[in-house]
Structure 1
């Protein structure tokens, strides 16, 4: 059965009949995630989060469209691990730009980038595109959406291939998780306090952190934790998509409307 919210499943008749207001583009990466998670981790979970949220938003509005997910991401700092696939941010930006221009051509002026990989950085592109085009771009890093609820579900904040990602994987695709192979996720700290405290930044070379490309302990992960976290973030993302689809593109968008001058 055709899904009217999925661009890969609609046909011309459906495209002509429906008036889409918002397009959602999931973006992942293909990279090592400790020894127990699949290289497609970021692609799989981001695609599923996007599908769940767009489906629910479509059911509420009939205005939200799911674009096919981009599988590749910026992985230059993980390339010491075999078969990690890396594209430059400029390459990724060029592809997102072309897709955004296609949407504008077809009258869709609200676009959401649902990002599932920490190495992807779209903020400069969003600023530039919104300056150049009649387009409103929004970025959601899905794993951060429920950060205020994190300690209610997980035991310790992690970074890469730890408790959160392993829990999500155990819920969504347990057949691809080999927990017996997992490393402990302990990573070497920087020698500089400024970097460890986060007020100075440098790119991390993951092969110098440990030998299994992980930052975070997966041992406390469970499918139930993954399910609970996904429920939190999917509800929030869905509500945002519904609000975005129903909000008119007036001169104040996306800000609250200004009061008439006589009321000030």
Structure 2
């Protein structure tokens, strides 16, 4: 079964959707879209360093993405507006990554695959990494779910309940770094933030509880993978961007539905 490249691509995309759904919900609730974007851009630098040091690309991407996330967390609130800080670090990391790649003359690298993904080239080994990473992310978020929700709702409420908001931020940071590392092969560094945000945003009008939103986001993400791959196969379009387009259509559909409900309620 896994000899079929479309089957491997579908399984890889669903694995990323499962990891991105619960994390993407927190990204939407906490308004951390730029934070996810900055972490994803840093992954390109991690890829370059991993190739230069001849280590696992997954390990390099996780290390640099985590370093970027921790740097942003550490520098926030020290005289810089968050959007300014994220803009500087995100674009700087991407630029340094692209420059670093240009020095790897002895190594053949398809830069477009890391920028926009190459899901159709996913191997069995990649599948193991993607689903292993997804399992870690889902387990981590599930383990800290109540604490993360409390810290997201109110830092004062978290302190009153004996929860350290900075520790929960660290959990989200680690989960984000792992998700970026496993998703870079599927949708690429430039589209990872879209897979975090769009399915979760599309699920919001259909959800009554946080748990429902995470589950519906996972379903929308998985369906977007299947629809995007089918469209890419039929129309000969890039697979990664096609998946994101499918998710965007789902967001448009749920937004229209919310508008119709609001109009009916009025």
Query: For the pair shown, which has the larger CA radius of gyration, 1 or 2?
Result: 1
TM range (shorter): under 0.3
Determine which structure has the larger strand proportion and give its number. 1
Determine which structure has the larger helix proportion and give its number. 2
